[in-house]
Amino acid sequence: MSIHIGAKVGEIADKILLPGDPLRATFIAENFLEDAVLFNEIRGMYGYTGIYKGERVSVMGTGMGMPSISIYARELIVDYGVKRLIRVGTAGSLNPDVHVRELVLAQAAATNSNIIRNDWPMYDFPQIASFNLLDKAYHIAQDLGMKTHVGTVLSTDLFYSKFFEQHLALGKMGVHAVEMEAAALYYLAAQHGVEALGIMTISDSLVNPDEDTTAQERQTTFTDMMKVGLETLIAE
Domain-wise residue ranges, the chain: 15-234
From 3.40.50.1970, 3.40.50.970, 1.10.10.10, 3.40.50.1580, which CATH number describes the 15-234 domain? 3.40.50.1580
Burial class (CB in 10 A: 0-12, 13-18, 19+), 74: middle
- Give yes or no for a contact between 196 and 188, defined as CB atoms under 8 angstroms apart: yes
Query: Could you tell me the sign of the dihedral formed by the alpha carbons of 19, 1, 37, 43, in that order?
Result: negative
Q: Identify the pLDDT of residue 211.
A: 75
Residue of 124, 204, 210, 224 marked catalytic: 204
Q: Is 101 marked within a binding site?
A: no
User: What is the rounded distance in angstroms from the CA atom of residue 62 to the CA atom of residue 159?
Assistant: 16
- Give yes or no for a contact between 76 and 60, defined as CB atoms under 8 angstroms apart: yes
Burial 152-191 (b: 16+ CB within 10 A, else e): bbbbbeeeeeeeeeebeebbeeebbbbbbbbbbbbbbbbe
Q: Is 148 marked within a binding site?
A: no
Q: Identify the pLDDT of residue 192.
A: 98
Q: Identify the pLDDT of residue 161.
A: 80
Q: Is 43 marked within a binding site?
A: yes
Helix (H, G, I), strand (E, B) or coil at 116: helix
Q: Is 217 marked within a binding site?
A: no
Tens-digit pLDDT string for the chain (236 aa)? 898 999 999 999 999 999 999 999 999 999 999 999 999 999 999 999 999 999 999 999 999 999 999 999 999 999 999 999 999 999 999 999 999 999 999 999 999 999 899 998 899 889 999 999 999 999 999 999 999 999 999 999 988 888 778 888 999 999 999 999 999 999 999 999 999 999 999 999 999 888 777 777 766 668 999 999 999 999 98
DSSP percent split of the chain into helix, strand, coil, nearest 5: 35, 30, 35
CA 46, 138, 93, 186: dihedral to nearest 10 degrees? Answer: 60
The amino acid at 216: Q
The pTM of this model reads 0.94
Q: Is 54 marked within a binding site?
A: no
Helix (H, G, I), strand (E, B) or coil at 161: coil
Q: Identify the pLDDT of residue 64.
A: 96
Helix (H, G, I), strand (E, B) or coil at 47: strand
User: What is the rounded distance in angstroms from the CA atom of residue 223 to the CA atom of residue 201?
Assistant: 9
Active site residue 204: yes
Q: Identify the pLDDT of residue 219.
A: 66
Q: Is 89 marked within a binding site?
A: yes
